[in-house]
Structure formats: structure tokens, C-alpha cells
Structure 1
């Protein structure tokens, strides 16, 4: 059945949530800040609602003592969650990143009752791009009982398998705000030494998957002399220069030659 795609205020949209629900939130630069702030504002009404998610770049407002009615479950623990964990409001889910898409979607142990998504505005056909945070959000949203979108003209309109149609969204809020940014990490001499060592092990034509932090940043910087690399899964700011200089071409890939297959982008406006 097509869904309503009802335009609501943030308050009215969050009023569709109920106490005790499990609500999946996009990670990193895809965080829907306005919707999350409204969840916190309604914390007492939403007692024992659990926010599900991965890496978080903000200050974890839902984990503050004043929002103690809310819980959280995450596959990406942070020191900033430690106080809430000690209060019994955070559960760490030790799951491989590959398995997140099954554990946090319909049929999984952590199947959400609602998925919040952060999207670009719909195109003429009614399709919304999930932009920089597709990953687990897309498969979970396609099967969730309730989907609420934060629609933002500043969200990049990425291509590929990253779309929800308006008929798959119950409600949306109109928000014009900058995305949360992930600035390049500081890289010291130790990180650079490790990066050079790792880069020397990478052959030309390889598909490379990197994480976040100083050492992955140093590895990308040290790959500058390589040829026909491909990047997979995650993009960060350091990838931009590699593409611009022709280091990353994806020309040697056996699958989807000539294109990068990524689920998340974490960086600044340059990315």
C-alpha cells in the first residue's frame, strides 16, 4: 500500500512515535539533527524508546541525563556514551558491519519499528536520494512499519541504489540546515609511517576499503603514487584528491568497472 508522504512539522512527525519503539537513525553525516532534537524534546512521552545507530558525529543529545527516558543501541560505541551505559541506557551490539543490514532490518534481532531518513528533495518522479548515508538505512526503511524523512536541499543527490519513493514514506519534515561534518583527522609521524607501510602492500588496480581516523587518512595520503585504484564502502575527504589526480579510476574492477560502490560518505563540503 502506498504511504501518505504527509508533510508535517518536526513536532507532529515525532508525535507518530510511541513509547518503547525501536527507531533507526542514519549515521555520521546523515544524522537528521532536527528530528533527533525533537525526539529528545519528547523524551518523557517516549519513555523507553530506543534509538538504534552506528557512528555518531554529534554530542549524543539523546544520551544526556536529562533525556534518561530514552535508550540507545549501537554497533559503534563511543566514550561519550559511557555515562549513559553506566546508567543502563546504552547497549552495545557486537556485530560485523556486513551483518548490520540484516540485524537492523525486518527479520533481524534489532528490526526497527521506525526508520528516520535524511534525504534530498524528491525529483519529478517522486524519488528521494538518501545522499551520504545509505548503508543500513535504505534496506531498513524499505521494510519498516513507519518511515519519517527529514528532507533537506543541502543533502547531496547521490546516484545508484540509494532511493526511496515518496510512496514508501509516511511523513516528512522540510528542513534546510548544513549536514554534520567530519573534518579530516590529525595525522602525525607515527600514522604517516604506518600509512606508508600499508600503501606499499597495496598493488595497482586494487579495490581499497578504509575506515575513519588518523591511520586510514594516512594510508589514503600514501596511495598517491598508485594507479587505477578503486574505493569501496566509505568515502572521506582524502579520497577527493585521489580521484582528481587520476589515482582512483576503478578501471581494473571486475564488478561495476568504472564506478565506486559506496554506502556512506563522511567528510566536509569538499567531499
Structure 2
């Protein structure tokens, strides 16, 4: 059965409106925008649109709002510091963790029979799509306020982020050098998905694939693979001995 046909009626579903209002903190205007923002491309049955375009827009808007926030918060910091902090605030894992805390996994419509999606980073993508929907529905000023109050202030702690290491590839390379291991990142699959190239990159240690990451560019896919490998190997820092 088509999920959205069952959820959406001509006059809108009251419970959906209520739940969405509770999550957003305001009454949504154009409900179809939010319907699209919460629909992952893995849903095919009766769905004309998914959230990829809104994700693209939301990514740009969120990045701009975070840049504006940092520029005003740190008036004496240089470009390098601001760029690094922005990267830490909008990296995929960070946004996915925030999306899960906000409950987006419960309202995102995706193919639940695909077990890999349940533990993937699609919910961070949904959060970006939601930002895009808010921007189109309410405008820049309202979106700026929402991002500050619902994303940055409750979930992004600047002191912690300053000490956060997000370059998992560097951490993995450091561990490999310390322990005399060979490390390579290999492209194991490349295919077209909804008009975009989807890359699968494997972190290969001593000829053995430790973890794989998927993304629409090789850089993000290799970082995801590196992060999963770091977690699997139990690497705390580059000086950790770890094991295989």
C-alpha cells in the first residue's frame, strides 16, 4: 500500500500535522514540502518525488547558517579555524547523530526491508532535506532561528567540537604506520543511482577489507569506510596498538 496515500488525505492528515508541528515547534505551511523531505529515494511505490533535491538545498542553507553562526560567535578567529569548525558541525556522522536524537528515523519514509539503510546515514540527509523544506516554506530568517534553536544550541557543543577529530582517514593512517600495517582505500563498486554515481570504497588493511563506505563522492565514501574501520579495530587514537 502506498504509504503517503494512506497518510495523506485531500485535506491533510491531522495526526501527521500534529506530529510534525511537535517536532518542528511551529505549524507547517506547505505540507507537501515536508512530505518530500521525509521521503527517501529507496521508496518507489507510488512516490513521485524523494528528498534528494531538498537535501541538496538544505545542505547549502545549513552550511551558510553554520558559517554565519561561527562568524558572529568567534569574531577574532581566522578563516582556517572557522572552516574546520564548520566541517565538524556539518559532517555526515554528526548530522546523522542529531537526526536520530530528534526522532527523524521514526518519521523518515524509507525501504525498511533494506537492513543496511536502518544503520546508514540517510537520516542526516533527511535532516538536511528538512532544512531545505523549512527554508522554502518559511524563509531564511525563520530557518536561521530554527537551526540555531533546534540543531546548534541543543546538540553542537563548541568546546567538545574543538577537540573532535573528524578526519578518520588520518587516524587510520596513523594507526597503520604505528603498527607496520599497509593501508589502502579501494573502489569496489561504482554505479548509477537516480542519475548520480554511488561509490563504494573499502578500507583495506594488509590486503583484507575491514570496512566499506558508500556515498555519492569518493571522499565521503572513504571517510565513512575509515570511520567504520576505526570503530571496528577499536582505535582510540593514532598511538593505539589495536588488533586484527
Question: What is the TM-score of this pair, normalised by structure 2?
Answer: 0.31
Structure number having the greater strand percentage: 1
Question: What is the TM-score of this pair, normalised by structure 1?
Answer: 0.28
Structure number having the greater helix percentage: 2
